[in-house]
Structure 1
Amino acid sequence: MTETAEQPPASTVVQRLSLLDRFLPVWIGTAMVIGLLAGRFVPGLNTVLNSLHVVSGVSLPIFIGLLVMMYPVLAKVRYDRLESVTADKRLLISSLVINWLVGPAVMFVLAWTFLPDLPEYRTGLIIVGLARCIAMVIIWNDLACGDREAAAVLVALNSVFQVLAFAGLGWFYLSVLPGWLGLSQVGLDVSAWQIARSVLIFLGIPLVAGYLSRRFGERAQGRQWYESTFLSTIGPIAPYGLLFTIIVLFALQGEAITSRPLDVARIALPLLIYFVIMWAGTFALGKGLRLSYERSTTLAFTAAGNNFELAIAVAIATFGVTSGQALAGVVGPLIEVPVLVGLVYVSLAARRWFSSDSTTAPVSADASRRQ
């Protein structure tokens, strides 16, 4: 066993943050409002944004925002420490079970419980539950002082399973299981390549960029320069990427969200319950398994977050941009973003529940603070 570093109180961690980070919930709320209003009232904005693609079905503005958001965090990862994460079988097995067995099942139950009379929205929610998080979890984990190396490994692991399992689970939860239960059935036409392409673009590019920065930056200038100078220079841009992504995302669907507020409210309730159940249950599991605070936090956020980019893309490609399934996909981040920001602060407050008998890999010098 390795003892964890003594954790400072949440108030101390918050005080160390920059002005942007300290009031991030305010800026995120503002970005959501700006996006919604722009999408509703700026003529032709949706058309312009929808016409910008990296490849067909992959939004260029969202890709740029996610790259700016994810690259600084992935550049901070100590890739030479990943072996200590891959050796933690409790962490890896727990993540796979929660993400690919528990998560989709919980969303299926909630969707049918709260939306039995709205099949389009119900299907959209089930698709959200199948799309496990590979993007924004990186920044939520970093804000909550989670284990960066563990986050990189779990996100990569979930990405592989996403390519392999998404289509099969979609068939099971939308066609097979409802048939067994005597419920209405829906088909999901999505290829493994479509999913793999999304994963490679949204995760693969920033991950490779972060790895190459660490490898060649340290080789050229040394670790001290890389961590004290380079990372401190690029680190502050990550929240701007998050805010830009939120503005673009809500601008793309601003009219749909603002024109159907009652439908949004009905979709939002099961989503809210889902995020809280997944985060709280997994965080408690980490504590029960005697994982460190850092790894329990990482496990919880990777379980609670969803890959909204993939969910929206699949819903639009299968059912159309104006479909109820697409609207449910868009409402996903509308609820997920503020809820998981709130859970960042809950995580920081819960650090006192963890003591030195929790097991983890050696803690880096910045484990208890954000760079």
Structure 2
Amino acid sequence: MSAAPEQAVAGRLSFLDRYLAVWILAAMALGLGLGRVVPGLGDALAEVTVTGVSLPIALGLLVMMYPVLAKVRYDRLDTVTRDRRLLLPSLLLNWIVGPALMFALAWLFLPDLPEYRTGLIIVGLARCIAMVIIWNDLACGDREAAAVLVALNSVFQVVAFSALGWFYLSVLPGWLGLEQSGEMGSHLLEQSRELGGVSVWEIARSVLIFLGIPLTAGYLTRRIGEKAKGRAWYESELIPRIGPFALYGLLFTIVILFALQGDAITSQPLDVARIALPLLVYFALMWAGSMALGRSVGLNYSRATTLAFTAAGNNFELAIAVAIATFGATSGQALAGVVGPLIEVPVLIGLVYVALYARRYFTTPAPLTEEDPAHA
């Protein structure tokens, strides 16, 4: 695609859209600063929960995901479910390659830090069902494909998360001769086995809240809106009005998330750096490998992009909740879970721009339209 159309669309961007990366970094800095300088803010926010789920984060994610899921053309989902070139690689990347890669990187980079290593492995097991929706949308990914892949991840997450946690934390290290010795090793092994007992309902609740509610709301909005006033009105009038709330919800979520853990992150910078390195390698390898795989099997740009973002993203809310419930709020495992979004958010927003640049290497790149100004 030539530069001229991109520049033309860029000229129509709103102030918020044009400097999205700046606002995300500012939201991260604001959250970290608030969590550091306001005494007791993190504890106060952490206490605002409903059945164990952080209410501020839940509200932010719901506001963020609803407009994107309201844009999905649900009558096109059958074209996605028939595409084995997309579905099979997605399942392979998310449930075999992703967890195995994070396990390998955790042991490679953190052989002497078992708590952080365990936390990273938990992050690798929690496949993304929330924020990936907006990264995919910003990168001109296929919305319908994203909805299907996220739904598949949700089902597999409920069924497989506990079993995979037990396998990667208790079984596989023993097979490979990687078990820790001494009192710390015995303690971690005992807690790792507890992860296998994580309630299926706890995982299903996360899925129902962070995916089920906005997915249902988005579907009903489109169904009722099109029935009442037609598709043309829905696409040209309603979607542009609710669309910006996705970015508002994203920025709000980032501020709250980092405010919750600002003190823990800023008080242990060296530990954060050591946890960050394998995460950086993980996101880069998963995204680039998935993008290349999508292109090699003949996917067009939009579906290859969806494959890449759904494979690279992780469900940080679930990872943090499981780490805290199993190992404690002040544990190294919980800190590793918190560092996950600290690294994931700026890396994946950067990969949005990489994806938009890479579309020129596909024979069927996604078009730029006025309907989605943030896509530029």
Q: Same fold (TM over 0.5)?
A: yes
Q: 1:367 offset after TM fit, Å?
A: 8.6
- Which one of the candidate residues 94, 97, 100 is aligned to 1:99? 94
Give the whole-Å Cα distance in 2 for the aligned partners of 1:12 and 1:339.
27
Q: Is the 8 A contact 2:17 2:373 kept in 1?
A: no
Q: Give the conservation status (yes or no) of the 8 Å contact 1:275–1:304.
A: yes
Contact 2:240 2:371 in 1 (8 A): no
Match of 1:333 in 2: 341
Tell me the CA shift for residue 17 of structure 1. 3.1
Query: SS of the counterpart of 1:316?
Result: helix
What's the CA shift for 1:54? 2.3
Residue of 296, 301, 315 corresponding to 2:309: 301
Give the residue type in structure 1 aligned to 2:361.
W
Q: Deviations over 1:134-191 (max 9, x none)?
A: 1110000011011000001100110100101100100100011011012224321411
Residue deviations 1:90-116 (CA, integer Å, cap 9, x gap): 100110000000000000000000000
What is the rounded CA distance, in whole Å, between the counterparts of 1:12 and 1:290 in structure 2? 30
Identity across the alignment (%): 73
Report what 1:140 is aligned to.
Answer: 135
Match of 2:45 in 1: 49
> Which position in structure 2 is the counterpart of 1:155?
150
Aligned partners of 1:9 and 1:98: how far apart in 2? Answer: 34
Query: C-alpha distance in 2, partners of 1:22/1:13?
Result: 11
Task: Indicate the residue corresponding to 2:186 in structure 1.
Answer: none
Q: Indicate whether 1:265 and 2:273 are aligned.
A: yes
Post-superposition shift, 1:47? 2.2
Partners of 2:313 and 2:362 in 1: how far apart? Answer: 23
Distance 1:123 1:251 in 2: 24
In the TM superposition, residue 37 of structure 1 has moved relative to its aligned partner by 1.1
- Letter paired with 2:282: Y
Alpha-carbon deviation of 1:18?
2.1
Separation (CA, whole Å) in 1 of partners of 2:2 and 2:225: 30
Distance 1:296 1:12 in 2: 25
Query: Is the Cα contact below 8 Å between 1:9 and 1:349 reproduced in 2?
Result: no
Measure the CA separation in 2 of the matches of 1:255 and 1:370: 33
Alignment partner of 1:191 out of 181, 196, 199: 199
Contact 2:17 2:374 in 1 (8 A): no
Instruction: Find the partner of 1:35 among 31, 38, 48.
Output: 31
Q: Quote the Cα distance in structure 1 between the aligned partners of 2:13 and 2:330.
A: 40
Following TM superposition, the consecutive aligned residue runs of length 4 or more in structure 1 with deviations greater than 6 angstroms are 5-9, 363-368
Rate the CA distance shift 1:181–1:69 in 2: closer, same or farther, 3 A. same
2:323 maps to: 315
Structure 2 equivalent of residue 25 of structure 1: 21
Unaligned residue ranges in structure 2 (runs of 5+): 180-188
User: How far did residue 44 of structure 1 move?
Assistant: 2.1
**Displacement of 1:256 after TM fit?**
0.4
Report deviation, 1:133: 0.5
Over 3 Å counting, the alpha-carbon distance change for 1:368 and 1:20 in structure 2 is: closer
Query: Which residue of the other structure, out of 217, 220, 242, is the alignment partner of 2:225?
Result: 217
How many residues are paired up? 362
1:111 aligns with 2:119: no
Q: Quick one: distance in 1 between partners of 2:41 and 2:221?
A: 35
Cα pair distance change 1:288/1:12, threshold 3 Å: farther
Asked whether the equivalents of residues 7 and 352 of structure 1 are also in contact (C-alpha less than 8 Å), the reply is no
8 A Cα contact 1:10 1:351, kept in partner? no
Separation (CA, whole Å) in 2 of partners of 1:237 and 1:163 = 29
Distance of 2:203 and 2:264 partners within structure 1 = 25
Q: Output the CA distance in 2 between the equivalents of 1:274 and 1:368.
A: 30
Distance 1:369-1:285 versus aligned 2 partners, 3 A rule: farther
Residue aligned with 1:253, SS: helix
| Partner of residue 363 from structure 2, selected from 345, 348, 355 | 355
Q: Normalising by the residue count of structure 2, what TM-score does the alignment of the two structures yield? A: 0.92
What is the rounded CA distance, in whole Å, between the counterparts of 1:115 and 1:224 in structure 2?
A: 54
1:71 partnered with 2:66: yes
Q: SS at the partner of 1:145?
A: coil
What is the root-mean-square deviation in Å for CA atoms of aligned residues?
2.0
Structure 1-normalised TM-score? 0.93
Q: Answer yes or no: is the 8 Å Cα contact 1:308–1:333 preserved in 2.
A: yes
